[in-house]
Structure 1
Amino acid sequence: MYVTQAGWKSEIFQVTVGFLPDWAKGTALGLVALGFLTLWTVKLKRKLAYHRAVRSGQPIPAAARYAQGRGTDYLGSYAPQPRPDDTSA
């Protein structure tokens, strides 16, 4: 018989919340859920603002763009220099 094991995230959560009294476990679970909802709401709000700006034709600064490119695009003088494509092969 195959028994599934809990993931490492749920194990960490159980260990962290396991020492709390019952009334605090509910509060901790509520705070975690509130945190996820807040992050999701902020992400959705930024995405909607981006789409509104695109539809209205407003310029979008590089830091506010949705789905940015690679991290090396924003490293400035620390970014590696692009190599020319070698098509002579």
Structure 2
Amino acid sequence: MYVTQASWKSEIFQSVVGFLPDWAQGAALGVFVLAVLTAWALKLKRKFTYHRAVRAGRPVPESARYAQGRGADHLGSYAPPPRQDDPTA
């Protein structure tokens, strides 16, 4: 019989929660689940905002942008000059 090993993330979580008293373990698990659900809901909200803006032809809000640009876009004065044949520049 093949038994899967726990991931390193679950091992760390179990070891941290294991130091807590029994009454706090449930609260810690609840806070963790709430954090995961909140992150998921915010991601979904940004996705809906992005698609709604694209469909309506409005500019996409900064908080809903998916693409963060190329690495050179974040280099400031150290960025190489844009190429002449680059249509995005």
The CA RMSD over aligned residues, in Å, is: 2.7
Instruction: Provide the aligned length of Structure 1 versus Structure 2.
Output: 85
Normalising by the residue count of structure 2, what TM-score does the alignment of the two structures yield?
0.74
Amino acid at match of 1:42: L
SS in structure 1 opposite 2:60? Answer: coil
Provide the residue aligned with 1:49 in structure 2: 49
Q: Identity over the aligned pairs, expressed in percent? A: 71
Amino acid at match of 1:43: K
Q: Please state how far the C-alpha of 1:81 moved relative to its aligned partner.
A: 5.1
Residue by residue, what CA displacement relative to the aligned partner does 1:18-74 show, whole Å, maximum 9, x if unpaired? 011111111000000000000011111111111111011012366742244433333
Mind listing any 5+ residue stretches in structure 2 that lack a counterpart? 85-89
Provide the residue aligned with 1:33 in structure 2: 33
Amino acid at match of 2:59: P
Mind listing any 5+ residue stretches in structure 1 that lack a counterpart? 85-89
Normalising by the residue count of structure 1, what TM-score does the alignment of the two structures yield?
0.74
Amino acid at match of 2:16: T
Provide the residue aligned with 2:18 in structure 1: 18
Amino acid at match of 2:29: L
Amino acid at match of 2:72: T
Provide the residue aligned with 1:58 in structure 2: 58
